[in-house]
Amino acid sequence: MHPKVPPLILMPAGQHIPLGQRIPNSIHAVSVSLPTMADVIGYEEKRPEVLDKIQSGYPRFVTHPFLLKIETYWKSLFDSPNSRIWLTSSEKIARSLQTHLGDERSKYLSHGGISGVRLPEDETPNQKAKLYLQHIGGLLSSRQAEDYLASNGIEQFSEKEERYQGDSEVLIKSILAPDLGNPSPDSILLANSGMNAFFAAYQAINKIQSAYGKKSWIKLGWLYTDTMRILDKLRPEGADNVNHYDIFDLDALEATLAQRPNDFAGIITETPTNPLVQTIDLKRVREIADRYGAFLIIDPTMNSIANIDVSPYADVIVTSLTKYVGYEGDTIAGSICVAERCPEKETLISETQNHLEPVYQGDLDRLAHLAQDYHQCISTINSSTEAVAQFLSSHGKVDHVYWALQDNSKNNYRKLARNSTAVGSMISFDLKGNLAGFYDNLALAKGPSFGMKSTIACPYIYLAHYDSLQEDSGLAYLSRAGVSPELIRLSIGTEPTTEIIEALENALGKA
């Protein structure tokens, strides 16, 4: 169903970041260069000529080379050459993975302070294990893997990175607190990823609400793919979740709750949404949630808690600190903030901690170093975003532009924005021209993730929902969500605005 693509070739040196190179050029990078549509499709279809050049990728999706080295070592250490070993962030996650798989052939392994699960080389349980760990953020940290390799004499590392030398957790919480409504420090919890932050809060709310017979959730808006998968795949038995894609039809949202007033444990929404950058009327959603006793989880990752204040409306704020706070793009982490207004606050905090995976100390120290400058980085990004959005809106090859101040939700956004320039990095747009012609000629970083100091673009649906492009039912699903299959998601960085616009203008000329 996807458009015809050219042969798998690299762009000339100096114009684009080569296929498979890390973004940024760090062993702990969270993104990877996919410079052409052929590369994107080859990556999704697992073509060897593409995968062989991928050095690493987003840590929840692509097993880091350090983890693969430990896996090879463990196969020898535990005399299990014909197996697959999944290295987990903790023993707790390893045990939960075994429970999730329900496969009597799985075996728990532990050595040198890290844990894992061994499985036979059988595609079905291994694919199930991969997806489970991806969804909940359960893989071993690359920095912890690095320390393990060094301490066991398997590999030595000379490259050093800047890290904070004090109490990193205290520093990070003190920096985040004003952006989260100044809660008490014990109300802010740090997780090893944004998805683990959501998973932990989701499980905690389910535990509380199950006592009242409430098991189902409302997905308000078209949510990030792994958020939806947690809700769909890991829901309590008997749950009947509802997709409510149109964030502007809150009458329909209220009608859903009115029809099933005692069913819903919670509502989860992103503000703004990903990838359409639409902002909901949170005041009314809060009123509806209160009326029916539903917890409200808000994820403001798209434009950052530094730009918008959702604290008056959320019971729980979950956010990925990988974005914006970790602006270099080499650290993965998340946070959970339980609001003072939240029902059963202390119980919710306690239950959340039962499911949360702490940030590895090396990641925490790296994140603390970056967090000290993250507001300045966002200020620089904000100064370019509006100019780029205006350029795209006026270009004849661009059909529709989605950003913080788009007409259909700018009033909602302004109610949350901390100031008139707090527009975030995110711009998505539909092309009138040829997607491959534009994307292949765009001389900017191209790959997954956002909220980095580097401007980075991706054909979002191809990376996040490629399967939906292959069948009519999938295309119909995208249509219901109001998302074009060929949408480009662009995260503005700290480069000079003129350079970003020049790169876009040149590529649009080839679309």
Q: What does the pLDDT read at residue 55?
A: 81
What class is the 374-508 domain?
alpha beta
**Mean of pLDDT over the chain:** 94
CATH number of this structure's domain 168-371: 3.40.640.10
Torsion over CA: 87, 234, 282, 408 (sign): positive
Topology, domain 65-140: Alpha-Beta Plaits (3.30.70)
Q: Per-residue pLDDT for 489 more than 90?
A: yes
Q: What does the pLDDT read at residue 147?
A: 97
Lowest mean pLDDT among 13-17, 313-317, 323-327, 391-395: 13-17
In order, the DSSP letters of 51-116 are HTT-----TTTS--HHHHHHHHHHHHHTT--SEEEEEESSHHHHHHHHHHHT-TT-EEEEETTEEE
Q: What does the pLDDT read at residue 19?
A: 95
Q: What does the pLDDT read at residue 10?
A: 33
The confidence band for 56, taking pLDDT boundaries of 50, 70 and 90, is confident
Residue 118: how many other CB atoms lie within 10 Å: 18
Q: What does the pLDDT read at residue 2?
A: 39
The confidence band for 249, taking pLDDT boundaries of 50, 70 and 90, is very high
Q: What does the pLDDT read at residue 15?
A: 55
Q: Which long-range contacts (CB under 8 A, 24 or more apart) does 226-229 make?
A: 226/60, 226/134, 226/135, 226/195, 227/195, 227/198, 227/268, 227/270, 227/299, 229/131, 229/135
Q: Quote the DSSP letter at residue 417.
A: B
Residue 22: how many other CB atoms lie within 10 Å: 21
Distance (Å, whole) CA 189 – CA 141: 18
- Beta carbons of 140 and 67 less than 8 angstroms apart: yes
Residue 188: how many other CB atoms lie within 10 Å: 20
Torsion over CA: 279, 307, 304, 201 (sign): negative
For range 258-266, the mean pLDDT? 97
Q: What does the pLDDT read at residue 157?
A: 86
Residue 393: how many other CB atoms lie within 10 Å: 14
For range 51-56, the mean pLDDT? 88
For range 226-234, the mean pLDDT? 94
Q: Per-residue pLDDT for 486 more than 80?
A: yes
Distance of alpha carbon 53 from the chain centroid:
23
Domain boundaries, the chain: 65-140, 168-371, 374-508
pTM: 0.94
Q: What does the pLDDT read at residue 1?
A: 39
Q: Per-residue pLDDT for 11 more than 50?
A: no
Per-residue pLDDT tens digits for 285-308: 999 999 999 999 999 999 999 999
